[in-house]
Structure 1
Amino acid sequence: MTLVLENLNLVHDTEVHLNCVSASFAPGRLTTVLGRALAGKTTLLRAIAGLQPVESGKMERDGVDFGVLPPWLRDVAMVYQQFINYPHLNVFDNVAFPLRKRHVAEADVRNRVNTALSMVGLSDFSARKPSALSGGQQQRVALARALVRRAGILLMDEPLVNLDYKLREQLREGFRGLLASQSGGIVIYNTTEPAEAMMLGDQIIVMHEGRVLQAGAPADVFDYPANVAVAGIINDPPMTILAGRLHGGRICFDGGLELSARGHLAKLPPGAYRFGIRATEINLTEAGGVSGHVTFSEVSGSETFLHVVTALGEAVVQLQGIHHVLNGARISLSFSPERLFVFAAHGEGKLLRAPKDGEN
């Protein structure tokens, strides 16, 4: 039941929504589509569901032209970011609706609905109307209604974005169990959160401005981002990118800092490059390093994020623990050359070296 997309294109009023999008989705696997707002993620799901016609390209499922089928014959269930429920039906009947439309036996309806409600934590709310629920609970009703269908293709467009953090964590674990119970089903899950994409996906597709930039296993995309754009999208906060040159075994950053080009950088030819460093790999130092001033400081849970302007450029630092740093404070930063990613200086900034290269 593999779904294959080939060169899907959609342009509306000169705005590109899909640009030569090709991808494949295997049964029994959960694919996360990761990208920022307006990346084309929702348009892609709507095209697969048959709700958005494309201008060109092909969709095939097991060799059959999937794109010519009307939406009701595609065996697709979809969960939207904005929940949609029937206000005149209680929770149980909302979830049961697609099963009853398909004339499923009532005993089976009850079992499947109760299982779905238990999965999303709404077992005690089956008799309530949607108007008596919170926004997060209503989203879970819509989610349960999609899950109960056991469709061949399940599309999820940021379904957890309106839920609180604890419930999101709980439901993410539930999705893994759901996938195991949906043997043979294809699950495609849109998200803007790199951590969610990494946690859930057997495969990640990174989209940006209507294009697929990279697809692969989560660890491969994280360890080897194809270019500068992917490096920014797959990291939260985005990877800091600094311009510099390699000469005489030294990295000379624009702004004055010099580091030894050792490890995976040793065999790079001289020239201009872009160097990437993750926020977790930048440290505060008492001496040496590069000086800068803090433009924004934020404590989130047990971590502190600092936005710093330096002579090298802007950098984002992620520190473990709570650090009280005032805006405008002068600090000094350091990082190891062994943790640097190297991208081409021109064009899309193709990845040339990654820290993992030094471990092989």
Structure 2
Amino acid sequence: MQLSLEHVGKTVGPAVHLYPQSLSLAPGAVTVLLGATQAGKTSLMRVMAGLDVASAGRVVVDGVDVTRMSVRQRNVAMVYQQFVNYPSMTVAQNIASPMRLRGDRDVEQRVRDIAARLHIDMFLDRLPAELSGGQQQRVALARALAKQAPLMLFDEPLVNLDYKLREELREELTHLFATGDSTVVYATTEPGEALLLGGYTAVMDAGELLQYGPTAEVFHAPKSIRVARAFSDPPMNLLAAEAVAGGVRVQGGEVWPLTLPPDAPKRLTLGLRAGGLRVVARPGDVALPGRVELAEIAGSDTFVHVHTLVGELVAQLTGVHVCPLGDPITLYLQPDSLFVFDAEGPLVRSPARTARVH
């Protein structure tokens, strides 16, 4: 399916849910809608599905204007944050329901195949109420996959599951999307989820579409500070600076060596993702002495909040590190790993790519 939005906007009374935006989805691929809560992701998906009608612009599917066509007239599958299953039907009957509506053959075998791919084949004779939340969400996902709709919409389907279940289902969905023929739109607030799913990413904020393109390209070259913030977890470290001969001058007067474009503006904002800071020096590093303000252990990483002369920084250190509050600490960074933005927001320079993002 080729789905295109042409200057689509959505208002409800005086409130603007979506500012006019145009977007043409890559057919048969995954497009991730990435943005914080209330960025406009759900509003955009509801317009795509036909659940809501755009206040302005057109929704075009394979060259046909479907803007005012209801969801019942479109072949769309949608999975929500809250799993929705038919409570009086068994798991097998839930999954089979879209197949039977189409009059498909070999329904029972296909139900078993889909259930096995999502590891719920042992629950086929149970009712949804007899399953855990994660298992019920798998049933909802299975029913959506069984529909074989050319457009599949997933509105943060894993957000209400625990960490382990989210990790398992992300990997399974990545494989299922890669082996399917549907155009998939997947909404998330998590940059890591966007990177895992790959494909294309549309970054949204406050009802605006900020950037769209291949996921790795958007991650490595966010075209504005707003995009960089949305595509960094934890949020990107941002430092005020100015362009000078030989590099950039940061707060405190130190000059860091950095090659800038000839037309770079004087006032700059430097961006550094938390993973770009280290506690072990490498050749060419800049040293940032500071004081530990907070240390958080999350999974296999430690997030250290540090007060330095150039500003407040968050470092993401691999492994479990003991960092007592108030202790001195020195962070190190490579100037070439810095993103450079105009102080007003647009990207001036992005770091050279040294590794491929999968």
Q: Report the Cα offset of residue 69 of structure 1.
A: 1.6
Is 1:200 matched up with 2:200? no
1:291 to 1:49, Cα distance in 2 relative to 1, 3 A? same
| C-alpha deviation, 1:89, in angstroms | 1.4
Aligned partners of 1:21 and 1:210 also within 8 Å: no
Aligned to 1:274: 269
Q: Give, in angstroms, the shift of residue 301 of structure 1.
A: 2.1
Give the corresponding residue for 1:301.
299
- On the 8 A contact 2:242/2:267 being kept in 1, the answer is yes
Out of 207-216 and 66-75, give the one that drifted further. Answer: 66-75
SS in 2 for 1:283: coil
Give runs of aligned pairs for residues 117-128 of structure 1, distance below 5 A. Answer: 117-128=115-126
1:189 and 2:186 correspond: yes
1:231 equivalent among 228, 231, 242: 228
Instruction: Name the structure 2 match of 1:101.
Output: 101
Find the residue that maps to 1:39 and give its secondary structure: coil
Q: Which has the larger displacement, 53-62 or 276-285?
A: 276-285
Determine if the alignment matches structure 1 residue 241 to structure 2 residue 238: yes
Contact 1:77 1:151 in 2 (8 A): yes
Say which SS state the counterpart of residue 126 (structure 2) adopts: coil
* Alignment partners' CA distance in 1, 2:176 and 2:286: 52
The equivalent of 1:37 in structure 2 is: 37
Q: C-alpha displacement at 1:358, in angstroms?
A: 10
After superposition, give the CA deviation of every residue in 1:161-191 in whole Å (9 maximum; x if it has no partner).
23344443443333344335432x2111111
Instruction: Report the CA distance between 1:357 and its aligned residue.
Output: 7.9
Partner of 1:334: 332
Amino acid at match of 2:67: G
Aligned to 1:28: 28
Identity rate, percent = 44
Distance 1:171 1:23 in 2: 28
Distance 1:167 1:320 in 2: 23
Alignment of 1:106-145 (within 5 A): 108-145=106-143
Given residue 24 of structure 1, which amino acid in structure 2 is its aligned partner?
S
Q: 1:284 to 1:258 in 2, by over 3 A?
A: farther
SS, match of residue 342 in structure 1: strand
Matched, 1:255 2:269: no
- The equivalent of 1:314 in structure 2 is 312
Structure 1, residues 192-217: CA drift from partner, whole Å, max 9, x if none? 11111112131111111111111111
CA deviation vs aligned residue, 1:80-117 (integer Å, no higher than 9, x gap): 01111122111111222222233334xx2212221221
Query: How do 1:2-21 residues align onto structure 2 when only pairs under 5 Å count?
Result: 2-21=2-21
Gapped runs of 5+ residues in structure 2?
Answer: none
Please list, as runs of the form range in 1=range in 2, the aligned pairs for 1:157-196 lying within 5 A after superposition: 157-183=155-181, 185-196=182-193
Pick aligned residue for 2:287 from 286, 289, 298: 289
- Structure 2 Cα separation of the partners of residues 255 and 199 of structure 1: 39
Q: Relative to structure 1, is the Cα distance of residues 149 and 175 closer, same or farther in structure 2, using a 3 angstrom cutoff?
A: same
Between the aligned partners of 2:104 and 2:265, the Cα distance in structure 1 is 68
Q: Relative to structure 2, which stretch is displaced further, 50-59 or 331-340?
A: 331-340
